[in-house]
Amino acid sequence: MKEKIWGILSEESLLGRITSRLFILFGANLMFVLFSLPVITAGPAWVAMYYVCLKTLRVDSSLNPFVDFWKSFRMNFRQAFLGFLAFLGLAVILVLDIMFVARTQSVMRYFRWPVYLVAGILLLILFHVIPVMAAFSDSLKGLIRNGIYFAAKNPLRALLILVLNAGPLIWTYMDVVRMPLYAFLWATFGFSGIAMICSKLLLKDFEKYLPELDSGESEMEMEEAHD
């Protein structure tokens, strides 16, 4: 009986794997929330969270989400910081444009639809550049190019990733009554859960450009995605 109980609780058991995965998700989510509090560091934190999720899926072994998050945060800080800062600048411009065209009563109000389209495309690219930045090593220009490449390669998957990232945030903003529940979910597993699902969707294509891992290897090496 004791052997059966220890077998159920071991890391190799189904319960052990589920518990280990939940711990990784919680750790990565906690680190992302804490490191995103200054807002301008949200880019590197986002990349680091994806790094943990991709590495978890790829090596299929237990890891320390806090250690790997910090490693990626330091390694990708400069590129992720500059890239996210540029995105924030574009986002501010788009928000101001949307506010302007929404208030006007002239024919200019019809320009809100092109602005919405541009905003959607910008978000779609961002939601692909972040995981690409976590998986591959390249210049910022090359990473953006590769993000666009993976988004264009599978448009249906790209739209699904856009909905997975933007949909829950929009729903949370609209449903004020359940805001405390949503706040709890976002603070525990919300961000990392979405990142894990998106990582799973993208990993099949990513692995075509990543080096094979030897047995027992635990590091996710970085390479340029494509020529």
185-194: per-residue pLDDT in tens?
999 999 999 9
Entry pTM: 0.85
12-29: per-residue pLDDT in tens?
666 767 888 999 999 999
In this structure, what token pair is assigned to residue 114? Answer: 């092109």
Q: Taking CA 123 as the corner, what is the angle to CA 167 and CA 59, rounded to the nearest 5 degrees?
A: 80
- The CA distances from residue 5 to 1, 10, 11, 15, 62, in Å, are 6, 9, 12, 11, 21
Residue entry with tokens 């799973």: 200
Q: What is the mean pLDDT of the chain?
A: 85
Ranges 10-14, 42-46, 107-111, most confident: 42-46
165-212: per-residue pLDDT in tens?
999 999 998 998 899 999 999 999 999 999 999 999 999 999 989 887
- Secondary structure of residue 185 in the 3-state scheme: helix
